[in-house]
Amino acid sequence: MKTVHPLPDAASVVPVRQPLISVDKLTVDMPLGRSGSSVRIVDGVDFTIGVGERVALVGESGSGKSLTARALMRLDRLAKLSGRVDFDGTDLLKLSDRDMGKLRGSSIAMVFQDPMSFLDPLMTIGDQVAETLRIRGIGKAEARKRALAVLDELGVDRAAERLDAYPHEFSGGMRQRVVLAMALVGEPRLLIADEPTTALDVRVQDQVLDLLDDVSTRRGLAVLFITHDLGVVAGFAERVMVMYSGRIVEDGEVASVFAKPSHPYTQGLIKAVPRIDQDLNTLYAIPGAPPPPLARPSGCPFHPRCDQRFDRCGVDLPALQPVGMSRVACHLLDGKGA
Amino acid sequence: MLMSIDSISKSYNAFPNPPAKVLHDVTLNVDTGEAIGLVGESGSGKSTIAKCMLALIKPEEGAITYDGIDVIHARGEDLRRFRREVQMVFQDPYGSLNPRMTVEELIGEGLLIHKLEPTAAARRARVAEMMEMVGLNPNDMDRYTRSFSGGQRQRIAIARALVIRPRILVCDEPVAALDVSVQAQVINLLQDMQKKLNLAIVFVAHDLAVVRHLCEKIVVLHKGKVVEQGTREQIFDNPQMPYTQSLLAAVPVPDPVVGRARRAARRLETAN
């Protein structure tokens, strides 16, 4: 079935979704060498992803978007996490390592940017896809059968023959399908995709996005898509969360955020991307660069680069608060001098 | 015409397999002051062409001529002039700048090598002037690159290339490693420099929207061959070859309404 989801028009009712995962005041601290001190990379993040919802998490390098996603699966052993991550009624941060391990792959799965370094070059494709199931005690023949079914579903040609092939025999796009198959074979309900198309050429990227779109619709799979590419966000996600310097600064429906971004950072990002379908004019450039996590400015972390800042911005950290159907962290919404 | 590339072919050794031919009969020209974009997917040969233009590698067949110099066979004074007048900027500003050199040493190195400014004071003045021009603070001259962000490092790399007043600047994916908010700064800087210095820019990139923004002339490559070349309007508004069309159709547009309509149209086309 090949359909692209129509955008809900502004007047239509936003469907109420059952929440699948709720993140509350999540912080991630990473240790600095062996000094015993640490640096806060993710600084209090709250969000909810509904069942079957496709959410994009956008941010620049160092904004904490990857660490936020990895924290949901507790992938970084050295990271110190606090807050709550509720998945289906259980707080993932309180689970034992053993129980968390059971959840990975079967409830939440992840795909990464570089398919080549993720695949074991010495293991056949079939074995790698089936591994998730084998670990869970499913028999060899059954696991292989299900691996084949997933590869088929993801459009790997002659999947039956290629179960015994090795990763080097696959092209970049096909490898990304294999990685996707490994994530999906355990039938997770949330897929975290960390820049899965960044290393791919545009035409292959496009195919992988179509594939993700189809699978998510067919299976009712929720997707958290991490990217820095606003073009990908616009074409794929229903909702977008923008991260800057360890915090979410804007969260809203894709259509409304792109049509009318509220946070100056989001506004700047959208204006700074050259578009293939628009008249040429001078690109808007956000001055400066994102702050390193050890030298965050006081107040709003974006204020030194913001062209709409006023005196309060350098002092108070703005909270993420509801604005219409979105959430935005910016003092401008309270009005100047308020 | 400033540089002409005349039906060059290039193979790389792939022992024990036969050599892999990565460029087939590529012909293109660079005129003074024009920005030309080489676009294509990975493996299309776009970086190989850039390396040939810089005489970092030599094609087996064909000829490259720069302002009367036979680039492939150039030696002595001819080669020195070529190396001075054709400069480069690389993708990764973290890997392409020596961490043990100060900004002054990095930017001033070309002046020293080509003996363009005899005294240290004169070199320092030129470096300061160049830093100002690319939007860096000349007071940072004595610092090392580790304290600069990716965008600032790319400015250093551009200043380093431009300080000896080249006539062609070859940039291989100069903004691919930069953050979105910083990428626009570097694109605007390149555009500015092109106009101010009447500089020809050869821009190698896979991001078609960026290339459209910066380049007046576009060369589309696929599997080592030139598929199509023409002006920005010809390639983007009226592409002739199916390959170019499919490449353009796949570029994601950062607008949910337009982006989704484009994807829907494309899927309908592939389904039929």
Evaluate whether A169 touches A134 at the Cβ level (below 8 Å).
no
Helix (H) or strand (E) holding A70: helix A65-72
Identify the residue whose tokens are 């950062």. B254
Tokens of A136: 């869970």
Number of domains in chain A: 2
Report the residue from A4, A258, A275 with minimal CB separation from B264: A4
Q: Looking at the structure, tell me whether residues A125 and A266 fall in a common domain.
A: no
CA distances from A96 to A76, A101, A191 (A): 15, 9, 21
End of a domain among A169, A184, A199?
Answer: A184
pTM: 0.87
Task: Give the pLDDT of chain A (338 residues) as one tens digit per residue.
Answer: 445 555 544 444 455 678 999 999 999 999 988 878 999 999 999 999 999 999 999 988 889 999 999 999 999 989 999 999 999 889 999 999 999 999 998 999 999 887 778 899 999 999 999 998 998 899 999 999 999 999 999 988 899 999 999 999 998 888 989 999 999 999 999 999 998 888 788 888 888 899 999 999 999 999 999 998 898 899 899 999 999 999 999 999 999 999 999 999 999 999 999 888 887 778 898 998 889 888 899 999 999 999 999 999 999 999 999 998 899 999 998 875 44
User: What does the pLDDT look like over B177-230, one tens digit per residue?
Assistant: 888 888 999 999 999 999 999 999 999 998 899 999 999 999 999 999 999 999
Helix (H) or strand (E) holding A324: none
Q: Looking at the structure, tell me whether residues A55 and A164 fall in a common domain.
A: no
A275 close to B (CB below 8 A): yes
Say yes or no for a CB contact (<8 Å) between A202 and B263. Answer: no
Residue A131 lies in a domain: yes
Say yes or no for a CB contact (<8 Å) between A234 and B250. Answer: no
User: Residue A125 is part of which domain span?
Assistant: 120-184
Residue A130 lies in a domain: yes
Residues of A in contact with B270 (CB under 8 A): 2
Residue A55 lies in a domain: yes
Say if residue B268 is exposed, middle or buried (CB neighbours under 10 Å; 0-12, 13-18, 19+). Answer: exposed
**Strands A190-194, A108-111: parallel, antiparallel or unpaired by DSSP?**
parallel
Report the residue from B152, B246, B260 with minimal CB separation from A235: B260
Instruction: For residue B138, give how far its alpha carbon lies from the nearest alpha carbon of chain A (Å).
Output: 16
Instruction: For residue A56, give how far its alpha carbon lies from the nearest alpha carbon of chain B (Å).
Output: 13
pLDDT average per 10 residues of sequence, chain B (272 residues): 95 89 95 96 92 95 96 95 95 91 96 94 96 94 91 94 96 88 91 95 93 95 96 95 93 87 80 68
Say yes or no for a CB contact (<8 Å) between A231 and B258. Answer: no
Report the residue from A232, A276, A289 with minimal CB separation from B212: A276
If DSSP codes are grouped into helix, strand and coil, which group holds residue A253?
A: strand
Packed helices A264-272 and B180-197: angle between N→C axes, nearest 10 degrees: 50
**Strands B69-70, B17-30: parallel, antiparallel or unpaired by DSSP?**
unpaired
End of a domain among A184, A205, A222?
Answer: A184
Tokens of A34: 């062996």
Q: Looking at the structure, tell me whether residues A99 and A214 fall in a common domain.
A: yes
Q: Looking at the structure, tell me whether residues A30 and A161 fall in a common domain.
A: no
Instruction: For residue A37, give how far its alpha carbon lies from the nearest alpha carbon of chain B (Å).
Output: 21
Residue A273 lies in a domain: yes
Question: What is the CATH T-level fold of the domain B3-239, as seen in this structure?
Answer: Rossmann fold (3.40.50)
Residues of B in contact with A282 (CB under 8 A): 188, 191
CA–CA distance, A213 with A262 (Å, rounded to integer) = 27
Instruction: For residue A283, give how far its alpha carbon lies from the nearest alpha carbon of chain B (Å).
Output: 6
Report the residue from A205, A258, A287 with minimal CB separation from B255: A258
Say yes or no for a CB contact (<8 Å) between A269 and B180. Answer: yes
Check which CATH number belongs to the domain holding A231 and give it. 3.40.50.300
Give the domain ranges of chain B.
3-239, 241-272
Q: CA angle at residue A107 from A106 to A113, to 5 degrees?
A: 85
Q: Looking at the structure, tell me whether residues A212 and A240 fall in a common domain.
A: yes
What interface predicted TM-score (ipTM) does this complex get?
0.82
User: What does the pLDDT look like over A118-145, one tens digit per residue?
Assistant: 899 999 999 999 998 998 899 999 999 9
A81 close to B (CB below 8 A): no
